Chains A and B, each alone.
Chain A
Amino acid sequence: MAGQELTVSEEQAFELLAHLVASAELCITEPYYYGTFRLIDAASKLAGFLLAGPGDGSREWLEHFKTEVDAKKEWMMWDREGYFDFLRAASGDVAGELKRRVGRPPLGTADGAGTSR
């Protein structure tokens, strides 16, 4: 697997830490699907930190992933079923990228062409 070291600044780490801790507190009282929103929002922040780093092994994928998350996370407020479908697909997208990074072809074809889910 591509193992480029990632340097996260203290400021970035504290941003994520504060977001996670505050989100944990909010999960006490908010509907459960808000918790999913906090987590996918945290994933977007982490993707942003990765994009700010020097690594280029997944840059194109990360840019696409973060753009999609930031556009579709807000569906939670207007189109909950669409939002849940997006969350299910997002996990598949991440898994596909994980496979690509270790040199395994996506499922569906012998030569790696085709869907990643």
Chain B
Amino acid sequence: MSAAPRTSRELAETVLEVMRTRRVVRRFTDEPVSEADVRAVLEAGRWATTGGNRHVHRFLVVRDPAVIRLVKLMSPGMLNAPTALIVVCLDLEQSEQQQVPVERHDSVWIDVGTAAMNMMVVAHALGLGSCPVTSYSRSGVSTLLDLPETVVPQLFVLLGHPARHRRQLRTGASTRLSVDDLTYWEHYGQRTTA
């Protein structure tokens, strides 16, 4: 990365550049992720927005390859094994203490996404690959990881050093929505700012 940005515009461009160049990575080398890098990723998750500053989620880091392999067996969405796995968990005891009824508070699920996104952006800035996964057996993973009954695994962030891989796509198959595709101004359906 270039020299530290000096203005807010430069800072924004630096952050945007990290966001623009991040891609989901599903293939990893065997090289372990350093603890310092895992901690930096966790720090990013900790600083994510959380509804009412309640922090009803907890992160479980798994680095034992044997345990990761077991988790992968019950996780059809985990196409390849990472070298580190962060399980974003909902702690029902925390949510009860914070008086957050999980069935009525969308912020509980939104907070999972904000934490995961922060983590993946910082992972990319560190040169790591990452991938969010929600396609796993909740009961299977809870059993494998000996999670307490009051802890629900909500999302995995797979971490690792990216393996070289060239995605094969048909010509013209890739579509990427632009800001204008996604945005209306003032009224839903209005494409122009005027």
C-beta contact mask, B16-40 vs A, less than 8 Å → 1, else 0? 0000000000100000000000000
Taking the closest CB of chain B, its distance from the CB of A67, in whole angstroms, is: 10
User: How many residues on the B side are at the interface (Cβ–Cβ under 8 A)?
Assistant: 20
Measured CA separation A88–B135 after assembly (Å): 24
B194 within 8 A of A: no
The B interface, classified by DSSP as helix, strand, loop or mixed, is loop
- CB pair A26–B135 under 8 Å, yes or no, is yes
- CB pair A22–B136 under 8 Å, yes or no, is yes
Query: Which B residues are in CB contact (< 8 Å) with A78?
Result: 169, 173-175
Measured CA separation A19–B170 after assembly (Å): 28
- CB pair B137–A79 under 8 Å, yes or no, is no
B76 within 8 A of A: yes
B73 touches which one: A14, A26, A34, A38 (CB < 8 A)? Answer: A14
Most chain-B CB neighbours within 10 Å: which of A22, A26, A41?
A: A22
Measured CA separation A21–B141 after assembly (Å): 13
The A interface, classified by DSSP as helix, strand, loop or mixed, is helix
Query: Which A residues are in CB contact (< 8 Å) with B75?
Result: 22
Residues of A within 8 A of B (CB): 14-15, 18-19, 21-23, 25-26, 30, 34, 38, 41, 71-72, 74-75, 78-79, 82
Residues of B within 8 A of A (CB): 26, 73-77, 79, 135-140, 167-170, 173-175
Can you list 11 contacts pairing A with B, beta carbon distance less than 8 Å?
Answer: A22-B136, A22-B140, A23-B76, A25-B139, A26-B76, A26-B77, A34-B135, A74-B167, A78-B174, A78-B175, A79-B169
A-B pairs, 6 with minimum CB distance: A79-B173, A22-B137, A18-B73, A71-B168, A22-B74, A23-B76
